[in-house]
Structure 1
Amino acid sequence: MNSSGNGTNASETSLTLLRGDITEQTVDAVVNAANSSLLGGGGVDGAIHRRGGPEILAACRDLRASHYGRGLGTGQAVATTAGRLPARWVIHTVGPVWSQEEDRSDLLASCYRASLHVADELGARTVAFPAISTGVYRWPLEDAARIAVETVRHTDTAVEEVRFVLFDDRAYAAFAAARAR
């Protein structure tokens, strides 16, 4: 159970894999692999801001003006409107940059846990995740997939379906292998 007492066992959360565009997902919440500024960027972050429209940027600016003046910390998550996306909310999370010298796996796992916690607070039942930190943050895809799937499986949440929306065949294959374990 989650801390609010209305969670389900994480094993009851279905894990769906899709190859496609996360901005086209009709879900309660889309997770954005954001940068700490919350003001848009490249990759998934840029796509979500472009498709979602100025409402998302305005909500992020409001967050920066209130609670997140220095930006959102790595592994944390916060929600905004989804603007013009076919979702109710965008949950922004900042993934870690991969490092060969330092194990940052706990920070990557925290992105998934924190996002599910925010989803629970919102009452979201369907959540779409990208492959966090696997783009410009260079996290090795197979390891990122393992961390993502294991974390979602072991996080108590009321979310009924987690969709991993993967941009290409290589990412899909890595997540399929992780899910099969």
Structure 2
Amino acid sequence: MAGCDTKFVATGQTGMLIEGDGFAVDSVVSDFVGGRPSARFWRPRTTRDGVEGQGSLANPRYSGVTMGLLHGCLPGRPGACYEAGRTGIVGLEPMLLPPLEQVAQAFLSAANLHHPCRFIGVAINGRLLSDEPPARKGVGAETLNCRLGTWCARASTALSARR
């Protein structure tokens, strides 16, 4: 964000190790997950904070943490991560992942309970994709951009190519 002071806010141990600041949301009693970040974000401040998310609304194991952070942080411009090619929830097979559009709509519906917000973009993890162009499979950045009406970009697959 040009012209704005920004800060990365970690919500997990790895992020805290990298940033040197934040809070480990998994150490917070579930009744207070929404309140922990609210102490930081529900006050006037001069920075734009980028809060690291945890879990997924689509995963029954972690959706409570995601919803707590969502309501505690009240994001105005959230971004999302999407692993193209993933069809199910690991360890909960045969539970299928809902379409990205459905997950995005659920997230925005919950976020918009208190104030208007809209997605600013989606980072696409393409490690599960073959060399076939992602657009042909309906998961390319351009295709998702059209389907979601927001900016989408595929993250580098250089690391996954080494496997």
What interval of TM-score do these two structures reach, taking the shorter chain for normalisation?
A: 0.3 to 0.5
Max Rg structure: 2
Indicate the structure whose relative CO is greater, using CA pairs within 8 Å and at least 6 residues apart: 1
More strand by share: 1
TM-score by length of 2: 0.42
